[in-house]
Structures are given as C-alpha cells and as structure tokens.
Amino acid sequence: MKISKAVITAAGREQRTLPLHALVDRDGIQKTALQIIIEEALAAGVEDIAVIHAPGDQTAYRQAAGSHAGRLHFIEQAAPRGYGHALLCARDYVGPQPFLHFVSDHLYVNAGPRRCAQQLVAAAQVVHCAVSAVQATRESMLPFYGTVGGRRVPQSPDLYQIELVREKPTPTQAEQELMVPGLRAGHYLCFFGMHVLTPTVMDLLDEFLQQAGDAPLALSPALAALAERERYLALEIAGRRYNIGVKYGLLQAQLALSLEGNDRAEVLAELVEVLAARQP
C-alpha cells in the first residue's frame, strides 16, 4: 500500500485562524501550525498535500505554509456543510489511492524515535487497510472527539479492530458501546486527528451526502460504515496529540513541543522562574 497523498481539512468556519498561529517547534524554529502539520505529513513519506479551506483563506494559508507552499493543492469548500463534506471535496484529488488525512487543529508530539504520522503510515502499509490513529483518552474529554469501540488485534499490541465509531459520545453511550478491553477504567480510544483512509470512505461520504440533504455531513458515520464494509483498524500511537482549538490548547501544544525539543532546559528555567515569582 503506497500512500503518497495527504489531505488537511482546514475549512471549519470557526477555526480558520488556527493553522496560522505561530509556534516554536522542537528545533527552536518559529513556524506556523500549518507548517508543522505539513512537515509531519512529509516525514511520513507523503509527496503531495491538499488543503481544504473556506472561501477567502487560500492566500493566508499559502503564506502560512512558507517554503512548503509549492507542494500544496488548495481546494475550496464553498459552503460550510460539515467535516465530512470538507473531506469529500478532495475526492477527485485523492482518486483511487489510499491517503493520509489530518485535521488542522491538532499538533503531535511523538514519544519514540518515529513521528506520529510515520507510525501510522507504517502500520497501514503492513495491514493494507484503513487505519485511524487513536489515543486512550479520559471520559471527561469525550465531548471533543470521535471515539471508536473494538477489540485488540491478536499479536499486535497497538492495533485494534474497529467495530463502532461514535462522534463525541456521551459517557453513558461510551460505557455501553465503546469499552475496549485492556484500557484503564474511564478511558476510551479517541481519534488522534490523523487517519490513513481508503477511497471507500469517499464513496461512503458521497452516499451519506445524498441522504443528508442540506444537513451538515459528519465524517464519523462514514467511518462507522467503513468498519462494516471493510477491514478498518485503529493504531494506538506512541505520542500525544494537542488540540489547539480548545482553551489553553495552544499553550499546551507549545509547552509540549518545547519540552521535547532543543530548548527544553531554557523553557524549564523560565517556568521555574515564573513559579518562583508567583505571589503567595
């Protein structure tokens, strides 16, 4: 399975500025969030990247992509018709090949030597099917994520067979349908914001679009249908994702990047100084 294309969805009308935020990456270099995501994709072996955007955002994103701007294809989502629809806009772009998909409001910090996207693509190439990156997440964070239910794949400690996908489930629903053996109590496998998807997803999204009428089209129902239609796995990534769209999300992402990078000592010293200077 060769994965040479990536799709970044950045058309959410309330999150248009997130990819433009500047952060300092692990090497101590200031970059936009979009640049960091693009580099994650490139490190996984992707050669070509599409960005789905809202009308009027192309120029800003092109600038935010910096030196990577030349690799990008910009696809406009004319009307805000949901996350699933945004991805569907890239149907012609990806064609009949599997592709790597990122959301634009997440940044990633890997725990081991391989970057998160690298782990995901490597796994997909072994199992030859769609694979979504997941992270065991505490139930209080369920309102922010799509969540999968399933069971471990024998002999593969990080892989799960996905049986069910629910978008932002309630804890009650999660407990009844999405408990995965082997996870800590109150933890569920939530999406990491990174997937290797097969073209079947596009077919499914198209089918759902016909039924949805004017309603927004979500991605999770299509992924749930994917799990019924073909083999679909989840990979528990050795790393962490940071949602920069939530309160203090950007700060947390920045801290995580800094503490994993070259400036670790400097950042820690600054933090200690801030703590020491606090009024009692």
Partner 1 sequence: MDIITAADPDLRDLSLETAGQGATLNEWLEQCRQLDAFRRDCPNLYERVRALFFLYAIHRFHLPRQTDLPAIGRVPFEGYVHLLDRRFEEAVDLFLQAQAEQGPNDTLASALAEAYRHLGFQTLVNQVRRSVKSVRGNQWMFRTGHPADQPLRIRPQLTTRPAPQTPFPILREVTPVRMDLSHSAWSDIFFLGMDYPEGARVLNVSIDLGVRGRDAAPRPPIEVYLRVIDEPVLRLVSVDLGAHADITSLAEVFDFARDYLGLLKAAVIAAGIVPPGLEGSGQELADLLARLVGPGLGLELASCVNGIPKGSRLAVSTNLLAALIAACMRATGQARSLTGALDETERRLVAARAILGEWLAGSGGGWQDSGGLWPATKLICGVTAAAGDPEFGISRGRLLPQHHLLDAREISAATCARLQQSLVLVHGGMAQNVGPILEMVTEKYLLRSEAEWRGRQEARRVFDRILDALQQGDIRAIGQSTTYNFTGPLQTIIPWASTFYTEILIERVREKFGEHFWGFWMLGGMSGGGMGFIFDPARQRDGQDFLGAAMCAAKRELQHALPFAMEPVVYDFAINAQGTSARLLTGDEALMPPGYYARMVPRWLRTDPQALPATTRAELSRLGAACHIRPELHGMVETLFERLLPRSGPEAQTDQTLAALLAQGGFDAALHEQIRTDVRNGRLGLAQNRLPASTTLEDVRPADVLDASGGLDPACRQAGLAALADGAVAVVSLAAGVGSRWTQGAGVVKALHPFCKLGGRHRSFIEVHLAKSRRLGRELGKPLPHLITTSYLTHAPIREYLAFCRNYGYEGPLLLSPGRAIGLRLIPMERDLRFAWEDRPQQRLDEQAQKVRDSLHAALIHWARQAGEGNDYTDNVPFQCLHPVGHWFEVPNLLRNGVLAALLAERPQLQHLFLHNIDTAGADVDPALLGLHIRSSACLTFEVMARRIEDRGGGLARIGGRVRLVEGLAMPREEAEFALSFYNSQSTWIHIDRLLAIFGLTRADLLATREPTGSGSPAGAQGAADGATEKIAAALRVVAARLPTYITLKDVKKRWGHGQEDVYPVAQFEKLWSDMTALPEADCRFVVVPRLRGQQLKDQAQLDGWLRDGSAAYVEALCAWD
Q: Which residues bind partner 1 (CB under 8 A)?
A: 138-143, 170-176, 179, 185-186
Task: Give the residue with the Cβ less far from partner 1, 134 or 142.
Answer: 142
Minimum Å distance from CB 173 to partner 1? 7
Per the rule left: phi > 0, alpha: psi between -120 and 50, beta: everything else, 181 is beta
Task: Give the residue with the Cβ less far from partner 1, 102 or 188.
Answer: 188
Task: Give the residue with the Cβ less far from partner 1, 74 or 144.
Answer: 144
149: helix, strand or coil? strand
Task: Give the residue with the Cβ less far from partner 1, 14 or 273.
Answer: 14
Burial (CB count <10 Å: 0-12, 13-18, 19+), residue 171:
middle
Minimum Å distance from CB 202 to partner 1? 27
DSSP per-residue string spanning 56-117: T-HHHHHHHTGGGGGGEEEEE--S---HHHHHHTTHHHHTTS-EEEEESSEEEEESSSS-HH
Radius of gyration of the chain (CA): 19
Task: Give the residue with the Cβ less far from partner 1, 149 or 239.
Answer: 149
Minimum Å distance from CB 237 to partner 1? 22
The rounded distance, in Å, linking the Cα atoms of 74 and 72 is 6
Minimum Å distance from CB 251 to partner 1? 16
Minimum Å distance from CB 178 to partner 1? 10
Burial 110-119 (b: 16+ CB within 10 A, else e): beeebbbbbb
